[in-house]
Structure 1
Amino acid sequence: MFSSFNIHTLFLYLVLKFRYRQPRFSSRRQYRRVVFKHGECNVVQGKVAKRRRKYLQDIFTTLVDAQWRWTLLVFAMNFMLSWLGFAVVWWLIALNHGDLDLSVRDNNSTWEPCVREVYSFTSCFLFSVETQHTIGYGSKHTTEECPQAIFIMCLQSIVGVMIQAFMVGVVFAKLSRPKKRTQTLLFSRNAVICQRDGILCLMFRVGDMRKSHIIEAHVRAQLIKKKMTIEGELLPFHQQELKVGGDGEEDRIFFIWPTTIVHKITPESPLYMLSAADFLQEKFEIVVVLEGVIESTGMTTQARSSYLPNEILWGHRFETLVSFKKETGEHEVDYSLFNNTYVVDTPLCSAHDLKKLISLRAHTEMHHMQPLDSCTNYCSEQSDTATSGSRTYRPRSELHDKQLSTSDLMMAQLEPFLINPGELPGPESFL
């Protein structure tokens, strides 16, 4: 009784588990990303007219893209159907010529069959396999008695070679495609924003675990967000290119160790007007793409990832992970530090406001006025005051222009968004 109770409980558990289990990507699809962190595109092609016909018209690509079980099934079925099809043809030839009537063959010593040693459909099937793959086990062979048999033998040989060439090409293309090469190409878990040479920059890190390198590697980045045109048209997935590059400010990188990719937030950047608080309120997605040629195969590969606003750390910088070992004379890469960052002093205002503050400070110093604090100190002092309560404060001036000096007026027009860089909201969609 106790045993039957346990079996019944286990059965109910399995039923409920498989009935109410979550979909494969349910935990990730709540972000509504365009590209997942591992590079898969969150796009489903639906309601395509004559989909199956179009897939069959490009059967080679369809088989290469299909899962292995379907490719191997088609591989086996092609050979089986060709063997059976030609076995039927050989059986019809033998039947029409009377080769299957043993009484006729025994009573006529001069009888010449179309195919020797063929007496049934089974022997026709064996002859079909031997002919298509040029096995030639023994005495089965065609004679000069039936021209149609000679023609079918030639035709089956050609068809067999074509099937083998096609299926070997599919399997080879499937094995050698560079899709799996992206598994060893790494993107940092988070992107960061900090100053580099006095300019706010968005940075993320890419790496390659293999000893064989990616040749002609280059990086691209796209910002995807909603946009309303001046005509009132809503573009739900407007794409805008972000100019990115390595230390040399070029999209092509010398990819022999992990490299930090930099996007300078200049007036041409779509991030130019965004402050730290805006990053927590805006809804967008930055899709990054790494492309290059595989050194060992010469094939082109592409790795993808993406960053949502809550995955961008304001006021952080990546730790150095490449060091020189004097004992071995080699440069060592410590991939345990690949995603590590540390906090640095960074203005919380936007790049636009930072440029204004720098210009204002230079203007006041030029006219021997009392110099203003740096943007970092200004934002930090305001942040300590604004975040002392339970909510974030965004300062605004309530004074009239006539009550302010020129410097105070320009300062009042600046609106640095003040928020603790470490405070990030929960995951949300960019839509």
Structure 2
Amino acid sequence: MAAYKNINPFSKKNNDTGFASNSNDTGGRFINKDGSYNLIKEGMPFHKRFSIFNDMLNLPLWKFISVIFIFFLLINCLFTALYLLIGYEQLDGLIRGSNWKIFREIFYFSTQTFTTVGYGHVNPAGDGANMVAGIEALTGFLSLAIATGLIYGRFSRPRSYLIFSDNALVSPYKDGKALMFRFAAFKDKHALTDVEIRVNAGLLVAEEGKADYKYFSLNLERNRVESMPMSWTVVHPIDENSPLHGFTEEDMKTADLELYVMLRGFDDVFSNYVQQRTSYTFSEIHHNRKFAPMYRESEDGKTTILELHKINVHHAVDN
């Protein structure tokens, strides 16, 4: 196929990607747009692969709040059931009434004990109730400490706060063409410095009559900048040294092309390095298009305005 024939055998193959030669044999993409790996691991027990701490740090905020709230309800329902199992007679100050009223009174007592508030309306009297209340108070104290650590970890964890263009473009560049995509930091105070970027290409290559995935490091017009207060358009010239030299849109599809993007920079707010991954598949690469400018000067000409909503705006160009 044309896609295989156009591979430059002298292009630099990247042996440091960590990807297996057949990692994409099942189709789809290897790296998701949000930077996570589209990967399932097998062969080890679930409890050894699962990390509650890591998952809680990476959950979306609404899911994180939901997990905390559901845990609070369930753990108090459990202790309420234990108090009922022991016998509500061991709780002094309980207002008698219907079963539902008694359940509510004990549930509220459980929440007060769990959070160590202890208003004093109901208190344990028997040995069994006192033992359960003590265990519950300890469980609540430890749970609060864990929740506090998770909340602190979520807020203090360095994040890149970058947005990438939805598509990469093959655009006119000097006397030829180049593959381009762009990104920007969208937080006002989070301007990155000492920014480095690497782009690898994974595609099918025909060798000895067999198609196999190979990975190539793409040469960039610039792979490092000292400061990035605005947007950055990453440019890979498609010249005779490029593994994509001579590729048409159909060739990229045939080769199942995927671009792997890795970015790293220093964030002054976190005073730490942050990194971000993303990828572009052949279906997300548009040909003969050009990005529109995404910045303008203020009316008084004294300030540059970065128009983040235009990061995906591009238009057609003549072949």
Tell me the TM-score normalized by structure 1.
Answer: 0.49
Q: Deviations over 1:164-190 (max 9, x none)?
A: 3334555665677777934x4446652
Task: Find the residue that maps to 1:87 and give its secondary structure.
Answer: helix
Correspondence for 2:122 among 113, 123, 140: 140
Match of 1:311?
Answer: 285
Q: One-letter code of the match for 1:259?
A: W
CA contact 2:199–2:261 (8 Å) conserved in 1: yes
Alignment of 1:3-402 (within 5 A): 34=29, 39=34, 43=38, 45=40, 48=42, 53-54=47-48, 57-65=50-58, 71-91=64-84, 95=87, 100=89, 116-118=92-94, 122=103, 124-142=106-124, 146=127, 150-170=130-150, 181-182=161-162, 184-186=163-165, 189-195=168-174, 201-216=178-193, 217-229=195-207, 234-236=211-213, 238-246=214-222, 250-252=223-225, 254-264=227-237, 269-271=242-244, 274-275=245-246, 278=248, 280-282=250-252, 283=255, 284-293=257-266, 295-297=268-270, 300-302=274-276, 304-306=278-280, 308=282, 311=285, 313=287, 327-333=300-306, 336=310, 339-340=313-314
CA distance in 2, matches of 1:303, 1:178: 14
Q: One-letter code of the match for 2:71?
A: N
Q: Deviations over 1:108-143 (max 9, x none)?
A: xxxxxx653358764544433322223333353356
How many matched pairs?
281
When the two chains are superposed, the root-mean-square deviation of aligned CA atoms in Å is 4.6
Q: Deviations over 1:175-217 (max 9, x none)?
A: 77777934x444665232423xx78754443334443334243
CA contact 1:220–1:289 (8 Å) conserved in 2: yes
Give unpaired runs (5+ residues) of structure 2.
1-26, 97-101
Task: Find the residue that maps to 2:228 and give its secondary structure.
Answer: coil
- Are residues 83 and 92 of structure 1, via their aligned partners in 2, closer, same or farther at CA, if it must alter by over 3 Å? same
CA contact 1:203–1:261 (8 Å) conserved in 2: yes
Q: Deviations over 1:302-331 (max 9, x none)?
A: 2524263893546x7766665666933233
CA distance in 2, matches of 1:325, 1:89: 66
CA distance in 1, matches of 2:154, 2:120: 37
CA contact 2:190–2:267 (8 Å) conserved in 1: yes
CA distance in 1, matches of 2:229, 2:146: 38
Query: CA offset at residue 160 of structure 1?
Result: 0.5
CA contact 2:180–2:235 (8 Å) conserved in 1: yes
Give unpaired runs (5+ residues) of structure 1.
1-31, 101-113, 344-420, 423-431
Task: Give the number of the structure whose residues are more often helix, by fraction.
Answer: 1
CA distance in 1, matches of 2:33, 2:173: 25
CA contact 1:186–1:208 (8 Å) conserved in 2: no
CA distance in 1, matches of 2:56, 2:297: 47
- Are residues 51 and 234 of structure 1, via their aligned partners in 2, closer, same or farther at CA, if it must alter by over 3 Å? farther
Task: Find the residue that maps to 1:243 and give its secondary structure.
Answer: coil
Query: CA offset at residue 221 of structure 1?
Result: 1.0
Question: Which is higher, the Rg of structure 1 or of structure 2?
Answer: 1
Identity of aligned residues (%): 17
- Are residues 158 and 264 of structure 1, via their aligned partners in 2, closer, same or farther at CA, if it must alter by over 3 Å? same
CA distance in 2, matches of 1:85, 1:332: 55
CA contact 1:193–1:203 (8 Å) conserved in 2: no
Query: CA offset at residue 293 of structure 1?
Result: 5.0
Higher RCO (CA-CA < 8 Å; seq separation 6+): 2
CA distance in 2, matches of 1:293, 1:224: 28
Tell me the TM-score normalized by structure 2.
Answer: 0.63
Task: Find the residue that maps to 1:128 and give its secondary structure.
Answer: helix
